[in-house]
Amino acid sequence: MLGKLTLIGCGPGASDLLTIRAARRIGEADIVFHDRLVEADVLEFASPAATLQYVGKKCTDGGRQQTDINSMLRGALLAGRHVARLKSGDPMIFGRAAEEIAVAVELGAEIEIVPGVTAALAAAAECSIPVTERAELQSFVVTTGRSANKDKEPDWANLLKPGICVAFYMSVAQAWRIQTALMARGVPGSLQAEWVENVGKPDCRRVETRLDRLALDARQHRVRNPAILFIRYPLSATNVEVIPAPADGMTI
Ligand code: SAH
C-alpha cells in the first residue's frame, strides 16, 4: 500500500510557533524529512519510533539536491510510509512545494498540507512592523531576491509601488541589485526599509535602513541569512499632485 505525504509548515524557528495540527502530524509520521532552517526542538514532537532524515540544502545548491529529495520521498511513499516533510515557515511560500506535491500526485499517494507561520509575518510580529496600514499601505507583496533563472528575476520596481509593503525573501546577497534596480526606476532612496535576521530565535536582530543604504547597511551590520527585507512605500511618501475632486455635475 502507498504511504502518505504530509507537508508541514514549521514556522520560522521557535517551536511554540508550530500549529497544534503541525505538532500532531509530526507525531503521527513514521519518517520525518527535515530542512536546514527547521530547529532541532521541533523534532522532539516526532514519535520515538520514527526515522529522522536530514535533507537540508542551501538555496545556492541549485536543483540537483531537490531531485534527490524527490526520489527519497518517492521511495518512502512506495514503501508505504507515512512521511512528514518539515519545511520552515509555510510550505507554499518559497518551499519547493510544487515539486514535492507532484511526487505524491504522480504516485497517487494521499497528501495533506499543514500551513505554517511564514518568516515575513513572524518578522512583522516580532518587530512590530505592520505590513498593511490604513490609508498608507493597502497591499502586501512577497517576493524573492533570488530566482532560478538570473535573467528572469522579479521586476521589483513593478511590485514596489506607492501604498505597498514588499517583503523580500533570500535577498541578503542581492541587496545591491535590489537597491539599484528600484532606484533606477524612480523609487525614492529615502524609503524606510529593515532587515530582520533570525526571526523566532534568541538572536533575532532588526537593522533599520533606507533604500539608498540597503547594501551598505547590510555589509556594515553584517546582516546574514536567514533574513527578511521589508521595504515600505507609504502613500504619503509620494509627491503626487493632488487633483481636486470634480464639482457636482461635472464629468471627467
Ligand atoms: N517557506 C519559508 C521560506 C523559505 S525560503 C517561509 O515561509 O518562511 C528561505 C528564506 O526564508 C530565507 O532566505 C529568509 O529570507 C527567509 N527565512 C526563513 N526563516 C527565517 C528566519 N528565521 N528569519 C528570517 N528570515 C527567514
3-state secondary structure of 189: coil
Q: Which residues of the chain have pLDDT under 70?
A: 58-64, 239-252
DSSP symbols for 64-115: HHHHHHHHHHHHHHHTT-EEEEEESB-TTSSS-HHHHHHHHHHHT-EEEEE-
152 C-alpha vs ligand 1 centroid, how far in Å? Answer: 21
What is the per-residue pLDDT for 246? 56
9 C-alpha vs ligand 1 centroid, how far in Å? Answer: 11
51 C-alpha vs ligand 1 centroid, how far in Å? Answer: 25
Fold of 119-239: 3.30.950
Burial of 45 (0-12, 13-18, 19+ CB in 10 A): buried
Which triple of cell numbers denotes residue 85? Answer: 516533510
Domain ranges of the chain: 4-114, 119-239
Residue with CA nearest ligand 1 atom 11: 169
What is the per-residue pLDDT for 228? 98
Q: What is the pTM of this model?
A: 0.91
What is the per-residue pLDDT for 122? 97
CATH of the structural domain 4-114, one choice from 3.40.50.980, 3.40.1010.10, 3.40.50.2020, 1.10.10.10: 3.40.1010.10
Overall size of the chain counted in residues: 252
Mean predicted lDDT score pLDDT of the chain: 91
Minimal CA–CA distance to 139: which of 60, 234, 54?
234
123 C-alpha vs ligand 1 centroid, how far in Å? Answer: 10
Residue with CA nearest ligand 1 atom 2: 89
Name every protein residue with a CB atom under 6 angstroms from any ligand 1 atom.
12-13, 37, 87-90, 93-95, 118-119, 123, 169-170, 196, 198-200, 225-228
Report the atom number in ligand 1 closest to the C-alpha of 169.
Answer: 15
Catalytic residues: 35, 57
What is the per-residue pLDDT for 152? 81
What is the per-residue pLDDT for 248? 58
